[in-house]
Structure 1
Amino acid sequence: MRLLPEPSAQSLRLIFLLIFVMGVAPSPALTAGCPGRCMCDDQLVVQCVGQQLTDFPTDLPLATRQLIISNNRIGELPALQLNYLSDLVYLDCSNNSLTDITESTFGNLRKLAYLDLSFNILINIDDRTFGPLASLVMLRMTDNPTLSEIHPDAFAENLALQVLDISRNNLTALNITTLIALPALRSLGISGNPWRCDCDTEDLCLWVQIEGFKFQAADVMAECRGSTSPFLTKSLRTDCHQTLGYWDYLFFIAIGFVIFSTGTVVAWVMEEISCVREVWWS
């Protein structure tokens, strides 16, 4: 059997040096650099918390998995920069100055599972705003005092969504059609909004009563504006589903009589015309 030659001392030094370099080599997140006033670690986490930033941080590592930019004064999430982070799974933008987000904002964040937009000044949410976020599991969007409207189809494509918190905004009505259809939804926070007590919110009121186990706040049932009674009152149900009154029945009888009379007259006229034709041809 042929023996391999023993490595020389120089070869051993080169091997040890290579092992050392490989062992301490920084992760992809670090090799790509780290934004100023931010902290990056080898777990692909970038933290820029409370740094008085007014702009979205630039030169973020492309392999970033978690990005925390809370407690700053950032007014915009630039789609071009944000969507380079295609591996992002956790994004905390809470306590900033965000006013507007669109479909393009999150267009390439297919892996994002956690998104926090609380304590901003968002105004409305369009139908496709969260559409690209197919993996979104938790969405926190609380304490936006200017948020007064959420499109009925805003969450229609977020089939993985389990937790949604839209508490303490300025919402007066909410279409729950798409929420009911979400198969994974198990928790919904809606407390602290100035809900209207009218027929537009009747479905929401009824859902709160039936699916109460999904709601995070027990006081939701008593949040009807200007009322201390339960959220869905008997009077509201009565107002939204009024029974027919005396005059309603008279109206339908009159309409039926007119239709019947018209049909009778038309039939008589057609019969007379038929008789005249027979006499004429005979």
Structure 2
Amino acid sequence: MNVINEQSLANKDLVLRFSLTYSHLHTIHPRAFHVARQLKSLEELEVGIFDKLVNLMELRIEHNQISSLPSQVFWSLRNLKTLTLSNNQLLVIPDRTFYFMPKLRKLTLYNNPLLSLPDELMGYMPELTEFYLFGTNLTTAPGNVFANMSGLQMLNFHLNDHLKELPQALFCCLPNLTKLSLKSNNLSRLHPELFSKLPTLNTLVLNDNKLENLPENIFQNLGGVQLFLDGNQLEILAPDMFEGLVSLQALDLSSNKLTSPASDLFDGLTSLDFLNLGRNSIKKLPPTIFHSLTKLRQLIIYYNELEELEVGIFDKLVNLMELRIEHNQISSLPPQVFWSLRNLKTLTLSNNQFLVVPDRTFYFMPKLKKLTLYNNPLLSLPDELMGYVPELTEFYLFGTNLTTVPGNVFANMSGLQMLNFHLNDHLKELPQDLFCCLPNLTKLSLKSNNLSRLHPELFSKLPTLNTLVLNNNKLENLPENIFQNLTGVLSIDLKNNQLQTLPGDTFSSNTALKNLSLNGNPWNCDCDIRGIARWIKHNEQVVLDSEDVMCHSPVYQLLRTKISKSLYICIYIYIYIYISGGMRLKCFI
């Protein structure tokens, strides 16, 4: 359909819904809808032809190419509740376009290349609760543009790349506003009184602007519970910046340029639940900076330049559940620094500069579930590192300079399910009982260490293990029956070691095995290989890389014989012994 005229809907008295979304209309007669008085939901139209649609409740005109609106085009729609004009080509909107619409509840104007808004845009619309005005080319807005929206609860005025400033009284008359989003505009400054008359605001989103500083008391009248200031250019915050925000629950200050936050910056934020200081340039945190935050459950201070943690810095965070400190420059930890965190579930200390960790660092943390220490230049671990952590399920200890570890280092982790103890270039040996007390371990990664041998009993007490990763080590041989107790193991990775042969019954107990990797080893395909070659031939569905498991010796088999084929080409060495009567015996060695 390309044209709608007066007769198109003449015999359709019961039409309640009419959609023209993504249509190819080029002509609509001015009287086309005058006969459709029962029409209550309309999606998209171009010209103002709604004079008789007095019962219309929803009008959707989004995703067209409308570049202008006739004056007074919507004035007859006094029962309209939803009007969507988003994703068009509107550059300007006539004065008083949205007058005489007292029942309007939702209005969208987003993703239009609007250059300006008129001083008199909106009539009295006390029931409007949602207004979406984003993705435009606006540089500012009239100070009274929201003045007649006393019932507004959610205002999305964001993603306007050219919006550099906001009038002082812009939000003067929104007593019921609960969420205000100004994110991803181009704001470099805010008036001190901008938010002073928003008593019910609980979410203020200001992230990803160009804010370099904030007026001292700009937030003092907010009763809000969420404040997002991340992704700006803030370097300094006044000590009383958040004073009086006793109801604030979430504060995001990440991705700014903060270097030295004041010790009393967060004083009084007794309801704060979430605090993000990540991705700044913070070099030092005062020892009492978090002492008012007794209800804090999530603290993020990763990707900063911290070189140390002060003694007692976390002492008051008795309800903390997640602490993320990775990607700093911390070289040492104060003793007992985490002892107050008895509700902590996640602790990330990776990508720092730890050489050692003090005795009993991780004591009194019974609820800990995840711990990361990877990518630290650790030289050793103490004999008493971990307290009783029965709920710990994930431990990441890789990318260190460890050469070995205490035999009891994992002893208190009875609930551990995944242990990534790999990429430790200097790790040459593992104690016999290292994995003695991990009855729930399902995945163990020891890849890319420097292991040349394994104790025969190393894996003997891992009844639930299903994945064992040993690739890229220096293993020259394996003890007989080393995998004997791994009856439920599904995957073993031994590729890229120095293995030359294996006993034929190495994997005979691993009846559940589904994936075995053996390639990248210098297999010696002499007669001693027959046992494992026979096993591979009978279990090629398990050795998924069997085509790449190649002989490296003897010379006549170098890189050209699949190991499973060596079963048939075993070469025997023999000698002849001559006896009397010209007879000779052929003796195999």
TM over 0.5: yes
After TM superposition, give the deviation of residue 220 of structure 1 in Å: 2.9
Where do 5+ consecutive residues of structure 1 fail to align? 1-16, 251-282
Partner of 1:8: none
Q: Which amino acid aligns with 1:131?
A: S
Aligned to 2:545: 217
The code of the aligned residue for 1:137 comes to N
Query: Residues 234 and 212 (structure 1 numbering): CA distance in 2 closer, same or farther, change over 3 Å?
Result: closer
Change (3 A) 1:164 1:235: closer
Deviation digits for residues 166-215 of structure 1 (CA, Å, limit 9, x no counterpart): 11111111113140231211110111111101121112223223322212
Over the aligned positions, Cα root-mean-square deviation in angstroms equals 3.7
**Structure 1 residue aligned with 2:349:** 37
**Is 1:163–1:187's contact at 8 Å kept on the other side of the alignment?**
yes
Larger RCO (CA under 8 A, 6+ residues apart): 1
Which stretch of structure 1 is more off in the superposition, 191-200 or 118-127? 118-127
Matched AA of 1:172: Q
Match of 1:170 in 2: 498
Matched, 1:111 2:440: yes
Q: Select 1:50's aligned residue among 354, 375, 378.
A: 375
Which amino acid in 2 is paired with 1:188?
A: L
Greater CA deviation, 129-138 or 75-84?
75-84
Distance in 1, Cα, partners of 2:536 & 2:566 = 15
Q: What's the offset of the Cα at 1:129?
A: 1.1
Secondary structure at the counterpart of residue 533 of structure 2: helix
2:515 counterpart of 1:187: yes
Relative distance call for 1:55 and 1:188 in structure 2 (3 A) is same
Q: CA deviation at 1:81?
A: 2.5
Report the AA paired with residue 164 of structure 1: I
User: Residues 32 and 234 (structure 1 numbering): CA distance in 2 closer, same or farther, change over 3 Å?
Assistant: closer
Quick check: 1:239 aligned with 2:571?
Answer: yes
Counterpart of 1:103 in 2: which secondary structure?
A: coil
Query: Which residue of structure 1 aligns with residue 75 of structure 2?
Result: none
Distance in 2, Cα, partners of 1:195 & 1:169: 10
Question: 2:447, 2:408 → 1: CA distance?
Answer: 22
Give the superposition deviation at 1:67: 0.2
Q: Is the 8 A contact 1:224 1:231 kept in 2?
A: no
State the alpha-carbon separation in 1 of the partners of residues 455 and 585 from structure 2.
Answer: 40
Contact 1:76 1:99 in 2 (8 A): yes
Q: Which has the greater radius of gyration?
A: 2
Render the CA deviation track for 1:155-176: whole Å, top value 9, x for unaligned.
0011111100011111111113
**Partner-residue secondary structure (3-state), 1:202:** helix
Letter in 2 for 1:31: R
What percentage of aligned pairs have identical amino acids? Answer: 18
* Secondary structure of the corresponding residue to residue 208 of structure 1: helix
Whether the aligned pair in 1 keeps the contact of 2:456 and 2:481 (CA below 8 Å) is yes
Q: What TM-score, normalized to structure 2?
A: 0.35
Shift of 1:46: 0.9
Change in CA separation of 1:237 and 1:181 when aligned onto 2, cut-off 3 Å: farther
| 1:72 positional shift | 1.5
What is the aligned partner in structure 2 of residue 86 from structure 1?
414
Q: 1:238 to 1:79 in 2, by over 3 A?
A: closer
Partners of 2:450 and 2:399 lie apart in 1 by 13
Instruction: Specify which of 481, 492, 495 is matched with residue 153 of structure 1.
Output: 481
Structure-2 separation of matches of 1:65 and 1:188: 25
State whether residues 191 and 223 of structure 1, in contact with CA within 8 Å, keep that contact through their aligned partners in structure 2. no
| TM-score, structure 1 as length reference | 0.68
Indicate the structure with greater strand content: 2
Distance 1:158 1:235, change over 3 A: closer
Q: Distance in 1 between matches of 2:467 and 2:566?
A: 34
Where does residue 534 of structure 2 map in the other structure? 206
Specify which structure has the higher proportion of helix: 1
- Tell me what 2:469 maps to: 140
Task: Tell me the CA shift for residue 112 of structure 1.
Answer: 1.0
Q: Which amino acid aligns with 1:212?
A: E
Residue in 1 that maps onto 2:54: none
Residue 103 (structure 1) shift: 2.9
Cα distance in 1 for residues equivalent to 2:566 and 2:369: 54
Equivalent residues, number? 229
Q: Deviations over 1:99-125 (max 9, x none)?
A: 112331111111111111111111212
Structure 1: distance between partners of 2:551 and 2:399: 30
- What residue is the counterpart of 1:228 in the other structure? 559
- State the AA in 2 paired with 1:138: T
Q: Secondary structure at the match of 1:124?
A: coil
Q: What's 1:98 paired with?
A: 427
Gap change, CA 1:229 and 1:154, over 3 Å in 2: same
- Letter aligned with residue 375 of structure 2: G
1:121 corresponds in structure 2 to: 450
**In the TM superposition, what is the alpha-carbon distance from 1:221 to its structure 2 partner?**
4.1
